[in-house]
Structure formats: structure tokens, C-alpha cells
Amino acid sequence: MTSTSDRLRTAGLRVTGPRVAVLEVLDSAGGSQHLTAADVLAGVRGRLGAVSVQATYDCLEALEGASLVRRIQPAGSPARFESRVGDNHHHAVCRACGRTTDVECVHGASPCLTPSSADGFRIDEAEVIFWGLCPDCT
């Protein structure tokens, strides 16, 4: 298993305490948890003590830019972050509480997943969010 510092280096980022902490917080949250920036901040502070909001946001931005972190931005809820990247999985979001869970890549015949015309764009990703109610809110 590659260390957190190695992942940063491989992505061309300088290894800093806050960046390592942000990645570790997201890693330890696991696949079914998608953390808000506030959750990440709380986790980072739990590890490092005093870290500013801005520093944490800057880390998230740098990590996202280096494709080590993925941001999910469901309409009407705060952005959520995860460190599960590169597999183009999808998300289901609860309309009531905002809980966000991973949905494996959708295969099959849903016609909307294959654009009939993309106006000349070369498509490499489809961002799919399924909306509904989580088990707790049903």
C-alpha cells in the first residue's frame, strides 16, 4: 500500500502536514462516508491541532486539482469530498439529510448515459447523482 506522502509526491504535490492529514481523514472515512469541508476540518484539527479553515480549503483544492480527492457537489447541499478517485463511481444522495453514498458504476441500457449528441465534445466522464431517501429518512 502506498503511503500518503508517496501519493502526494506521485501527484506532483509537495508533502505538507495539512495535506497528509486531509488525505488521511478522507481515507479513514471510507467509501460510504463523504465528508463536507467542515467534517474534514474537524478531522484535521483532531490530528494536527490548530489549522485554519483557509488552509484546509486550500489543501482540498490542491488535492482535487491533483486528482487525489474528488468533490461531489449535489445541487442544494454542501460540497462533499472523498479520496476514492479514478473509478468513475456514482453517488446516491438523500434528499432529507444529505447523506451521500457510493453507487458502483452504472452499466446497462439507461439511455441517458450515452449522449446521442455531444456537440463535438469528447466525453470521458458522466457525473450521475441518484436522488432519494436514505434508510433512516424513509
**Residue ranges in contact with Zn ion by CB under 5 A:** 82, 94, 96-97, 99, 102, 134, 137
Beta carbon nearer to Zn ion, 53 or 133? 133
Q: CB 23 → Zn ion: shortest distance, Å?
A: 15
Beta carbon nearer to Zn ion, 19 or 82? 82
Beta carbon nearer to Zn ion, 96 or 105? 96
Question: Environment class of residue 73 by beta-carbon count within 10 Å: exposed (0-12), middle (13-18) or buried (19+)?
Answer: exposed
Distance CA 106, CA 36 (A): 25
How is residue 115 written as a grid cell? 449522449
What is the DSSP code (8-state) at residue 10?
A: H
Beta carbon nearer to Zn ion, 7 or 99? 99
Q: CB 102 → Zn ion: shortest distance, Å?
A: 4
Residue type for position 123: I
Distance CA 91, CA 32 (A): 10
Strand 129-132 and strand 90-94: pairing?
parallel
Q: CB 78 → Zn ion: shortest distance, Å?
A: 15
Q: CB 45 → Zn ion: shortest distance, Å?
A: 23
